[in-house]
Amino acid sequence: MTGTIILGSGMAAWGATDRLLAEGITPRLFDKNPFPGGHTATFENNGFLFDDGPHISFTSVERMQQVFSDAVDGQYEILRADVDNWYQGHWVVHPAIANLHGLPTELVARIIEDFVDVSAKPTPDHFANYYDWLLTAYGQTFADNFPSAYGRKYHTVDPTLMNTSWLGPRLYRADLGEILRGALAPSPGKQHYVDTFRYPKRNGFAEYLKAFHAGTELHLGHEAVAIDPEQSTVRFGNGTIERYDCLISSVPLPELIKMLPAPPDVVDAAGRLSCSQCVVVNFGIDRDDLSPCHWRYVYDEDIRSVRMSFPHMFSSSTVPPGHGAVQVEVYYSDKYKPLDHRPEEEIEPVRRELIAMGILREDDTYLVEEARYIPYANVIFDLDAGPCTEIVHGYLADIGIEYCGRYGDWAYIWTDESYMSGERAVERSLAGR
């Protein structure tokens, strides 16, 4: 494995590199971008720092906490997550199911009635799809008005067309007592799957990777365009050809298969894998009283904004003194909701939505107003995802290419899980040798 190549330089590549170095193996990293880190990147604009979509670390794995702490010499913030939701003119503490107070009485009554009804029924051993799970967990009224509506915006697909393999702790299941107390009076909420989180004190989330990038052989501007598994070579768009003994890839599976002489069934399976695209709209404002929460979800389907986060609340170093910032996510997908306009065209509609919700003001001074396009955002766990991923992974195993990261595993994994995914890729490679 002396000639080990890693495609990518993000969190998974970091985990893979650390594991290889522990074995005395020094890999070479190649990234198509002119900047390192993949999604773990931070961009500066007029004194404001914006991550490539909202990034935080909330791992409960002590080993990973130490890895991240060491990477920034212990210089990070520990913050208690404050989260809420916008629903038809109401700000609702998260999770909404346990904080119904203040919503229309008839809606609250129907939610409780439905919840009591489904709670009296036995839980099925199998769910046909995500919507089936939502009906069992919450009842139809809450399912239709909240997670189903949000899911169509975030995943770009109807919940009847999604599987449930990705759920994990992401949706909170309250009991009847919590729902009743949260309906009768305001409650503190605080039942998000993220309780506290960590964020670097300076330079944005990309600071976690700074030492890793400085200490490795990293080649930027190298986009892999063809892989020959028989000759064990990678050809890059700039004409460079590199030979490998071991190849570890965090490239999205559909893109990786395009580089390979894959058989028709694998090509077909990769083509049916779906991922959302995201337009992040960033505003830098001359005041910092934009929100009481670190991030906020938007359920209304007639509002394009899906989720918003406030970088200055993660670390004051992300903005000039006395200023604030908001990053808004808007989602599309080639398969279910194609983006048919320039990303910049999202700026003004999103601004109007934030003004209508009381976050921005008509007289605000904007020091930053930009839109960034993210071609791979979230894996869409539609009904094709499971069987198609299995086919692609089986082919890669057959030709000795290891995969890792969110888009290599084709999984809904977070920062620490991406790092550990890189470690697992190396473990598989070591075991095979």
Which one, of 206, 156, 160, 198, lies nearest residue 42 by Cα?
A: 206
Q: For tokens 């919507």, what's the residue? A: 131
Flag whether 198 is in a domain: no
* pLDDT greater than 70 at residue 1: no
pLDDT value for 105 = 97
Of the three residues 338, 364, 379, the one that is the final residue of a domain is 379
| Residue 28 belongs to some domain of the structure | yes
**Where residue 341 sits, what CATH number does that domain have?**
3.90.660.10
The Cα–Cα gap between 269 and 254 comes to: 9
User: Rounded mean pLDDT of 93-122?
Assistant: 95
Is residue 60 situated within a structural domain?
A: no
For residue 294, the enclosing domain spans 274-379
Give how far Cα 312 sits from Cα of 37, 55, 191, 207, 362, Å.
21, 13, 23, 16, 21
- Least confident range from 155-169, 230-244, 319-333: namely 155-169
Model pTM?
Answer: 0.95
pLDDT of residue 432: 83
Q: Are residues 239 and 368 in the same domain?
A: no
Question: Same domain for 221 and 172?
Answer: no
Taking phi over 0 as left and psi of -120 to 50 as alpha, with beta for the rest, 103 belongs to beta
Q: According to the model, what pLDDT value does residue 208 have?
A: 98
Q: In the prediction, which pLDDT does 168 show?
A: 78
pLDDT band (50, 70, 90) for residue 189: low
In 3D, which of 311, 314, 304, 308 has the Cα closest to residue 337? 304
Please indicate, yes or no, whether residues 297 and 246 belong to a single structural domain of this protein: no
> 118 with 167, same domain?
yes
For tokens 């200490």, the residue is 215
- pLDDT for residue 71 is more than 80: yes
Per-residue model confidence (pLDDT) at position 174: 86
**CATH code assigned at 30:** 3.50.50.60
pLDDT at 190: 62
- 291 and 228 assigned to the same domain: no
Percentage above 70 pLDDT, the chain: 98
Q: Which amino acid is at 115?
A: F
Same-domain pairing of 391 and 366: no
For residues 163 and 296, membership in a common domain is answered with no
Residue 203 lies in a domain: no
Q: What is the mean pLDDT of residues 144-158?
A: 98
Whether residue 126 is found in the same domain as residue 31? no
Report pLDDT digits (tens) over 281-299: 999 999 999 999 999 999 9
| Overall average pLDDT of the 405-421 stretch | 97
The pLDDT assigned to 173 comes to 82
Q: How many domains does the chain have?
A: 3
- The pLDDT score that the predictor gives to residue 191 is 64
Q: Assess if residue 202 is contained within a domain.
A: no
What is the rounded CA–CA span in Å between residue 417 and residue 61?
A: 10
**Residue 401: what residue type?**
I
Write the burial class of residue 169 (CB in 10 Å: 0-12 exposed, 13-18 middle, 19+ buried).
exposed
Quick one: 229 and 180 in the same domain? Answer: no
The pLDDT, as a whole number, for residue 396 is 98
Residues 140 and 229 in one domain: no
Using only the alpha carbons of the chain, give its radius of gyration: 22
**What are residue 43's DSSP bridge partners?**
50
- Could you say which of 360, 379, 398 is where a domain stops? 379
Identify the pLDDT of residue 341: 97
Q: What is the mean pLDDT of residues 295-319?
A: 98
Does residue 122 have a pLDDT over 70?
A: yes
The CA distances from residue 286 to 268, 314, 363, in Å, are: 50, 17, 10
Q: What mean pLDDT is predicted for residues 30-54?
A: 97
Amino acid 106: pLDDT: 98
The answer as to whether 48 is a domain residue is no
pLDDT of residue 418: 98
Residue 66 lies in a domain: no
Q: Is residue 133 part of a domain?
A: yes
pLDDT 10s digits, 12-31: 999 999 999 999 999 999 99
pLDDT of residue 2: 66
Helices and strands of the chain, counted as H and E runs: 15, 20
Mean pLDDT of all residues belonging to the chain? 96
Give the end of a domain, one of 379, 400, 415: 379
| Pair (362, 305) in one structural domain | yes
Answer for the pair 56, 63: CB distance below 8 angstroms, yes or no: no
SS3 state of residue 66: helix
Q: Decide: 174 and 98 in contact? Cβ < 8 Å.
A: yes
Q: Within this chain, do residues 156 and 279 fall inside the same structural domain, yes or no? A: no
